[in-house]
Amino acid sequence: MRRALGTGWHARLLQLGALCVVCSLLAPLAAQAQSRLGYYRRDADEANRQRMATQFRNDAARTERRLNELRQRNSAPGSTSTGGSTSGSTRPDRAAVSPLSGFSGGGGGGEGGPAAIESSVTTTVRVRETEAETAARILAEALAGQAEAMWNAGRLLYTGGYGGVARNDAQALAWFRKAAEAGHAGAATAVGEALLFGHGVPAQPAEALRWLRKGAEGGEPRAQLQWGMALLKGEGGIATDAAAGRRWLDAAVQGGERHAQWLAGSERRQGGLWPKDPAEARRLLALAAAQQQAQALAELGEMHAAGEGGPRDLAEARRLFTAAAGLDEPGAMTNAALMAYRGEGGPADPAQATAWLRAAAGRLNHADAQYALGARLFEGAGLPQDKAEAATWLARAAAQQQRDALGLYGALLTWGEGVPQDAARGVAMLRAGAQAGAVLAAEYLGDVLFNERGPVPQDLPEAARWNRTAAEAGRWGGMLRYGLALKHGLGVPQNRREGYRWLREAADRGMAAAREHLDPADAR
């Protein structure tokens, strides 16, 4: 039977390229429903601190621009100016600005500015301040009991750096709490997140949810997301309420919360918290992607690549994967690399593809990238062949239970190809990968168990089961071996006609070894 299997190790790998190239495409995020439900928490921590720092500076810059407009307006003919400040100027067609509480941000306001900045009575124009002077004034106004200033004092201390103010989580939490007690929804959300993650105090999940609920009820989209997720998961001693949780998530989506848009889109794509609706999933993911939400960019890229929920557009898929790769989304890095190797959606770029793949596999420890890099190094596909390095990456991916890596690395161990032979360990990996649904593992396991002179005892019934799996998935080697099993009754009841059908299929796809076993009499 050895000759029927035909061809040796490298021929058995001839089909690997087609599978390797798409090993991660369309797979990474679709398989992570549970991580979708937890991602908002990971983002809410240090990434939220950085976002708050950026928002704080943006608010300061926006306020300064408005002050400049007022200075110019009040220096025009007919205006009154005394030193650097003017009071008493009124304009019935426009609300005047009194930025006595510093600047606002988070929890309100459109183009006209949050309520804390608005006044319909007077205009006060300050002289230009340094960052240090602005920080000192905000802290002084917070001490005087101004709610918006207390919120800004909390942001100032939570983010650190502005105006030379050092980060101090405990003091930030104290100011957030004061502002929240005065009814500031953004501050209530900040208190909830500080207590959730233990910033400034030990973590207090139940108390955190109380404040997050206040923020949600005050209209803060981020709190609506957090509170909705808590209801869905029954956290902090609260009862699980899926319907209420979905309502709060929908409110967060309507409020423009990008992570809520991603989560709602992703769940509609998979049919989880909401019924499956690919078109609506694509729409919601596009909203989040427009706000540079990395996972939304990656999932939307997958949908464009597959023509899921709308037209197939490989150029757009590659653009989205590239954008997400720039945000260090490892699945998107892997998919962008695979498309760049192939020249799909744009010109081939092996150098950039390799850089993305190495970054995702190494720095980000992404198992799919480790498998893709290892397989390409083993084959020499798009980069120089290096079996030793290939084995290193495949071993790392297999250690994370990446199912295709279990298949390929298990095969290397089984046959001693590029690594010291350990057939027992290799077959155990192959079996784990095959049971997890890896076609590659099923094909290699079917091969090694079918081979009567292989490195492990022959097991024809189990071989037939895995060869059938591989055959039905379109793998030529599986078609050959399953066809032979049916033709000769090896581990399965003999069925020469069905065996001929599988051998004919393998031969038609170009497998010369299958032609040797075709007998027209079997087709009758």
Among residues 409, 458, 467, 468, which one has the least CA distance to residue 433?
409
pLDDT of 22 above 50: no
Residue 122 has pLDDT above 50, yes or no: no
Tens of pLDDT, residues 125-179: 555 788 898 899 999 999 999 889 999 999 999 988 888 999 999 999 999 999 9
Q: Is 510 helix (H, G, I), strand (E, B) or coil?
A: coil
Q: Which pLDDT score, from 0 to 100, does residue 128 have?
A: 72
pLDDT for residue 458 is more than 50: yes
Distance CA 335, CA 333 (A): 6
C-alpha dihedral (359, 363, 364, 368), degrees to nearest 10: 50
Q: Which two tokens stand for residue 182?
A: 């005065």
d(CA 506, CA 517): 11
Q: Considering only CA atoms, which of 312, 299, 308, 390 is closest in space to residue 345?
A: 312
- pLDDT attached to residue 68: 65
Mean pLDDT of 52-75: 67
- Of 294, 366, 286, 345, the C-alpha closest to 324 is 294
Alpha carbon distances (Å) from 418 to 130, 376, 390, 405, 425: 64, 14, 9, 15, 15
Estimate the share of the chain in helix, then strand, then coil, as percent rounded to the nearest 5.
65, 0, 35
The whole-angstrom separation of Cα 301 and Cα 25 is 9
pLDDT digits (tens, 9 = 90+) for 179-191: 999 999 999 999 9
- The distance of Cα 344 from the centroid of its chain, to the nearest Å, equals 22
Domain ranges of the chain: 292-304+314-364
- Tell me the pLDDT band of 453, cut-offs 50, 70 and 90: confident
Q: How far out from the chain centre does Cα 459 lie?
A: 41
DSSP 447-485: HHHH-TTSSS---HHHHHHHHHHHHHTT-HHHHHHHHHH
Cα–Cα dist 228/226, whole Å: 5
- Side chain identity at 267, as an amino acid letter? E
Q: Give residue 46's pLDDT.
A: 61
DSSP string spanning 31-97? T-HHHHHHHHHHHHTHHHHHHHHHHHHHHHHHHHHHHHHHHHHHTSTT---BTTB------TTS-EE
Confidence tier at 353 by pLDDT (50, 70, 90): very high
pLDDT confidence of residue 58: 77
For residue 356, is pLDDT > 50?
yes
Determine what percent of the chain is predicted with pLDDT higher than 90.
68
Q: What is the pLDDT of residue 47?
A: 64
The per-residue pLDDT for 253 is 97
Span 490-510, average pLDDT? 95
Question: Radius of gyration of the chain from Cα atoms?
Answer: 31
Please say if the pLDDT value at position 403 is more than 70.
yes
Size of the chain, expressed as the number of residues it contains: 524
For residue 211, is pLDDT > 80? yes
Measured between alpha carbons, how far is 451 from 415 in angstroms, rounded to an integer?
A: 12
For residue 85, the cross-strand partners are: 82
Confidence of residue 91 (pLDDT cuts 50, 70, 90): very low
Over residues 328-351, the mean pLDDT reads 96
C-alpha dihedral (327, 332, 338, 341), degrees to nearest 10: -20
77 has pLDDT over 80: no
Mean pLDDT of 94-116: 36
Distance CA 171, CA 189 (A): 16
pLDDT at res. 405: 96
pLDDT surpassing 70 at residue 331: yes
End-to-end CA distance of the chain: 24
Angle made by CA atoms 312, 317, 321, in degrees to the nearest 5: 160
Q: Is the pLDDT of residue 117 over 60?
A: no
Overall average pLDDT of the 431-455 stretch: 93
Whole-number pLDDT of residue 207? 94
Instruction: Taking residues 461-484, report their average pLDDT.
Output: 96
Q: What is the pLDDT of residue 76?
A: 59
pLDDT band at 19 (very low <50, low <70, confident <90, very high): very low
**Structure confidence at residue 219 as a pLDDT band (50, 70, 90):** very high
Q: What is the pLDDT of residue 97?
A: 30
Q: Give the pLDDT of residue 389.
A: 95
> 42: Cβ–Cβ under 8 A, 6 or more apart, which residues?
none
Phi and psi at residue 118, to the nearest 5°: -90, 145
Mean residue pLDDT across the chain: 83
Dist CA 5 CA 505 (whole Å): 16
Nearest to 266 by CA among 29, 15, 524, 507: 29
Q: What is the pTM of this model?
A: 0.78
Amino acid at 364: L
Look at residue 270 and tell me whether its pLDDT is greater than 60: yes
Which residue type does 398 have?
A
